[in-house]
Amino acid sequence: MAPPTPSPRPGPPPTPQGGSLATPLRTPASKHRLHFPATTPKNAHHGGGVGAATEHPVEVIGRIRNLSSGGASALEIAGGGTAVRVRGDAGGCRDFTLDGVSVSEEEDLEGFYRRFVRSRIEGVRVGAKCTVMVYGPTGSGKSHTMFGCAKQPGIVYRALRDLLEGGGGGEGEGSAGGGEDDAGFGAGLFVQVAVLEIYNEEIYDLLVGSGANAKGNAPKARLEVMGKKAKNATYLSGNEAGKISREVAKVEKRRIVKSTLCNDRSSRSHCMIILDVPSVGGRLMLVDMAGSENIEAAGQTGFEAKMQTAKINQGNTALKRVVESIANGDSHVPFRDSKLTMLLQDSFEDDKSKILMILCASPDPKELHKTVSTLEYGAKAKCIIRAAHAATPRDKISSEESSTMLNSRIVAMNQFIYKLQKENKLREKERNEAQNLLRLKEEELTQVRAKLKLIEGQEKAAKEEEINSKVMEKTQTLRSELTKMEEAMLRQQEELTALKQRLQEVEHEKADARQPVQQDFIGGRLLARLSEMPAGLDQSMSMVMSMELDTGDQPQDVKVIKEDTRQQGHIWNHTGTAGVCTGAVVQEDDVRLSGYPEKFVLSTVFEEGDEEDAERDSGLEEVCKEVVQESFKVDTTQHALAEPDDPATRKHRIENIFRLCGNHREVAKKPKVQSPTKEVFADENRSPAKHLFGEESKSAAKQAYGNENREPLAWGALETPMCDVKVAESPVSSQLSPIVCQVVDEPLSEQLKSCSTVEDSDQNKENSFAGHKEQDGLLEVYIKWESGNLIQGLKLLQNSCLSDLRKLIEAHFEEAGGKEQHQFTFLLLRDPSGAPVSREKEASVQISQLPHWNNQPDSYLACLRAAKKPAVDHMPFSPLDSKLNSVVKDTHLAGVLSPKVNQMSPNYIRELRA
Ligand SMILES: Nc1ncnc2c1ncn2[C@@H]1O[C@H](COP(=O)(O)OP(=O)(O)OP(=O)(O)O)[C@@H](O)[C@H]1O
């Protein structure tokens, strides 16, 4: 039961410093039980002041809310702001002296907080323990004072801000404030916050189930009290005022409220917010008590409502009894009567703990009874004193000094901790940024690696495809070439077989003829030569060699027709021959066998097996035939072949033929053997040629060899007329390639010109010869000795050099039989020094470097100086050379061979392999 409200006793009004001295507000019952401290005005004003021998641990502040309904206020401030005067309906009044009084109409929550609460928070920051509780009837403004409203935050949020931010910050709901007193306390603190609800004498943890992932109506956790504290309570930890304030605001809404007649949102439970500051050992307990109310006044009906109200009042009543017990000095204080007093036990018993009790009262006259009851309760609590031990002056000084030092150390530690926390935050932020950057770099690296791998794969595939395509291409080319080579070899073998058969046929025919010896001599040799040809040689030959022996009514000339010389751009025409021209171009070593008894023509034909070449040769073949026929015509008309050559010349020519056939040695070593050929040659009168051309007439050979009678001076040095030898690509003539040599018999040309008026055929022949010269683009070189004797005229290719010319001249000398003349050197007349050209440099001196002959563009003059050193006795037609070996060993000669030869040459095969 609440003690009866003391009736105001008339007396002098309380002084502004506190009316406790002048007006002892004591209830009769407590008069002898309570020890009213002799408080000084200072102590009374500031509250919490420490007396000389006793301590006043409970400070009571009156908070009068504004009047919601009209009418006069039943309360007024008295005693200089430390007392509340309650005016009754009868005009009487009663004053209650408190530690302070605040009227909400005059002072908002901010002012109230700064004037009465903030100093307590400062103490907590340095390790003090303080309990701030609001007490009053329902609807008096307890929750409003503790939590505030939307416009102004209450004590809870302001205390959080001051604790965590040192009073200098401003964030969230605790950011309101300003002025000089808003100066911060220093660095922020780390706090632990627990929010408990005491409802129906049960303790609930409001933080349980209030997290971000919590559902709206999550059940509250019920806690047990162990000792003086709730067991296993949940704490909010941190130093961010805004974050913790938001959490507390959210939790506060979980309180059980109910609409009553006195309050639309009446708190049905006590709410306790506990803020521990571990770093300094401070503790702040904020207690919003449920309204102490009259059940009938609150309109609570029903058993449950009555029981609920009874429970609320149980806590309030237990607190009153505790206060009275403490105030009366009882040996037993009933802290265990309720959960609220159990949790508040430390607040009353701990010497370092102080209590700030805020009495909320309504100025409504209808609430006068409850207001007086509350003030009496506060007055009783204010009477609580704590016996203090007598302190010596020394202890007092040391205590003050140590307190100051500890406070300064605490502040320093707090600042240091705050600094560390800031640095930690900064480093954590930098670490996060570095991790993000590293992650981005790793992603870029992964992408680049993937691209590189892709590119490498593409390049590798492209290279493999390219290599494969090249290999396939080369393989196909080689296969085709191999096929062609095999076909060519087969053709060669077939033709060789045909030649052998042909020779056998000829041999048979000759066996029936009247000249068996000669037949055996020539045909047998050719057959033997062909038979001796090794198979490998046959296969390696790029040319198809054929020899044709023909008999007929033609003059018995031996015609050596050599292979195509078109590679050298030369077409040779000869007079006085009637041989069969089976090659594309005929080049003859025309040796007249005037003494041969039969009309016998031996022709050696080298023809290419390539059908395409044969087609191209067809035109030239026609020309050749025409020329041969025309020559025969001229000879027939003029009976030109008047006399055979002297025996030595004839022998030499025959030897040439035999060389071609490979039997030179036999002829040379057996001069005494009367060969059929010799017999034939000896009997010149029996020669059909003699019969045809006549002895007096000028023979074609004579024309070709030069007319010494017409120009004796010019040809004085000519020992033996050069035979008309055209050497082209053949096994025998390969030593003279690539030059094309022929005798340029200028007098003969002149003679032919002179004869052109007589015979049209001569004109045709000359035109043909000139035409060939122009078409061939040959160079005419006239040879003379240094003494001035003209030797002979020759024809060479455009790119011929002195070494080529030397070969021709030496061949000429050998033909002439004067070996002493083989030794000579060229004089380079164009050179100012006129020095002779060494043998080594002849290959590098082109014919075009020689001086022109008679200022004609394609005619040149070569001057020879006789040398003493004997020249090498080289037989141009040695048996070794006449092996019919067409394999070109000299690369210099390879370029002038036929395409077929070139294709089959080792160089050409190496190129194919490459
Ligand atoms: N000082 C004040 N200024 C303005 N309004 C106030 C003041 N005090 C209280 N009120 C208003 O009065 C109503 C009741 O206040 P409050 O809930 O704080 O009372 P209470 O004492 O907590 O009641 P209960 O014990 O039933 O919870 C609220 O609407 C509140 O806004």
pLDDT of residue 531: 55
In the reported structure, the alpha carbon of residue 899 is separated from the centroid of ligand 1 by a whole-number distance in angstroms of: 124
Nearest-CA neighbor of 9 among 18, 19, 903, 1? 19
CA pseudo-torsion sign 752, 757, 762, 765: positive
**In the block, residue with structure tokens 């302070």:** 100
pLDDT of residue 355: 92
Peptide bond into 738 cis (omega under 30): yes
Ligand 1 atom showing the smallest separation from residue 109 Cα: 1
Position 608, amino acid: E
List of residues 6+ apart from 634 with CB closer than 8 A: 575, 576, 640, 700, 759, 761, 762, 765
Task: Tell me the C-alpha distance between 774 and 762, whole Å.
Answer: 18
In the reported structure, the alpha carbon of residue 241 is separated from the centroid of ligand 1 by a whole-number distance in angstroms of: 25
The mean pLDDT values, 10 residues at a time, for the chain of 914 residues are 37 36 37 37 39 70 82 80 83 86 89 92 88 89 90 92 69 40 57 89 84 64 84 86 88 75 72 90 91 60 69 79 84 88 88 89 85 87 71 60 76 82 92 95 95 93 94 95 94 93 90 60 54 47 39 40 39 38 38 40 41 46 43 41 54 62 43 39 39 38 39 37 38 40 43 38 42 60 82 83 86 72 75 75 86 83 74 44 42 41 51 55
Query: Under DSSP, is residue 135 helix (H, G, I), strand (E, B) or coil?
Result: strand
Q: Which residues pair with 866 in a beta bridge?
A: 824
Ligand 1 atom showing the smallest separation from residue 64 Cα: 1
Nearest CA to ligand 1 atom 2: 65
Ligand 1 atom showing the smallest separation from residue 136 Cα: 21
Known binding site for ATP: residues?
Answer: 136-143
Nearest CA to ligand 1 atom 18: 141
Task: Tell me the C-alpha distance between 746 and 707, whole Å.
Answer: 10
Ligand 1 atom showing the smallest separation from residue 266 Cα: 26
In the reported structure, the alpha carbon of residue 124 is separated from the centroid of ligand 1 by a whole-number distance in angstroms of: 27
In the reported structure, the alpha carbon of residue 139 is separated from the centroid of ligand 1 by a whole-number distance in angstroms of: 5
Nearest-CA neighbor of 801 among 744, 738, 843, 836? 843
Ligand 1 atom showing the smallest separation from residue 134 Cα: 21
Query: Under DSSP, is residue 908 helix (H, G, I), strand (E, B) or coil?
Result: helix
List of residues 6+ apart from 663 with CB closer than 8 A: 525
Ligand 1 atom showing the smallest separation from residue 104 Cα: 1
**Burial category of 467 from C-beta neighbours within 10 Å (exposed 0-12, middle 13-18, buried 19 and up):** exposed
Give DSSP secondary structure letters for 492-544: HHHHHHHHHHHHHHHHHHHHHSS-HHHHHHHHHHHHHHHHHS-HHHHHH--SE
Nearest CA to ligand 1 atom 9: 141
Provide the strand spans (E) within 743-875: 779-785, 790-796, 824-827, 836-837, 859-866
Ligand 1 atom showing the smallest separation from residue 288 Cα: 22
Ligand 1 atom showing the smallest separation from residue 292 Cα: 25
Task: Tell me the C-alpha distance between 78 and 75, whole Å.
Answer: 9
In the reported structure, the alpha carbon of residue 266 is separated from the centroid of ligand 1 by a whole-number distance in angstroms of: 9
Ligand 1 atom showing the smallest separation from residue 265 Cα: 17
pLDDT of residue 904: 47
Q: Ligand 1, residues 109, 138, 144: which to mutate, most atoms within 8 A of Cβ?
A: 144
Q: Ligand 1, residues 63, 64, 65: which to mutate, most atoms within 8 A of Cβ?
A: 65
pLDDT of residue 788: 75
Angle at 729 between CA 860 and CA 771, to 5 degrees: 50
Lookup: tokens for 305: 């409502």
Known binding site: residues?
Answer: 136-143
Show the ligand 1 pocket: residues with CB < 6 angstroms. 65-66, 104, 136, 138-144, 149, 263, 265-267, 290-291, 360
CA distances from 312 to 290, 317, 327, 426, 830 (A): 6, 9, 23, 49, 145
In the reported structure, the alpha carbon of residue 265 is separated from the centroid of ligand 1 by a whole-number distance in angstroms of: 9
In the reported structure, the alpha carbon of residue 717 is separated from the centroid of ligand 1 by a whole-number distance in angstroms of: 157
In the reported structure, the alpha carbon of residue 642 is separated from the centroid of ligand 1 by a whole-number distance in angstroms of: 165
Position 504, amino acid: Q
In the reported structure, the alpha carbon of residue 193 is separated from the centroid of ligand 1 by a whole-number distance in angstroms of: 25
CATH number belonging to domain 54-173+186-387: 3.40.850.10
Query: Under DSSP, is residue 285 helix (H, G, I), strand (E, B) or coil?
Result: strand
Nearest CA to ligand 1 atom 26: 266
In the reported structure, the alpha carbon of residue 140 is separated from the centroid of ligand 1 by a whole-number distance in angstroms of: 5
In the reported structure, the alpha carbon of residue 137 is separated from the centroid of ligand 1 by a whole-number distance in angstroms of: 10
Q: Ligand 1, residues 61, 64, 263: which to mutate, most atoms within 8 A of Cβ?
A: 263
Nearest CA to ligand 1 atom 11: 141
Nearest-CA neighbor of 9 among 75, 92, 84, 83? 92
In the reported structure, the alpha carbon of residue 373 is separated from the centroid of ligand 1 by a whole-number distance in angstroms of: 18
pLDDT of residue 695: 40
Task: Tell me the C-alpha distance between 621 and 626, whole Å.
Answer: 8
List of residues 6+ apart from 832 with CB closer than 8 A: none
Ligand 1 atom showing the smallest separation from residue 63 Cα: 1
The full set of domain ranges for the chain reads: 54-173+186-387, 513-913
Give 335's DSSP letter. Answer: G
Q: Ligand 1, residues 73, 108, 143, 264: which to mutate, most atoms within 8 A of Cβ?
A: 143
Task: Tell me the C-alpha distance between 366 and 125, whole Å.
Answer: 41
In the reported structure, the alpha carbon of residue 138 is separated from the centroid of ligand 1 by a whole-number distance in angstroms of: 8
Nearest CA to ligand 1 atom 15: 141
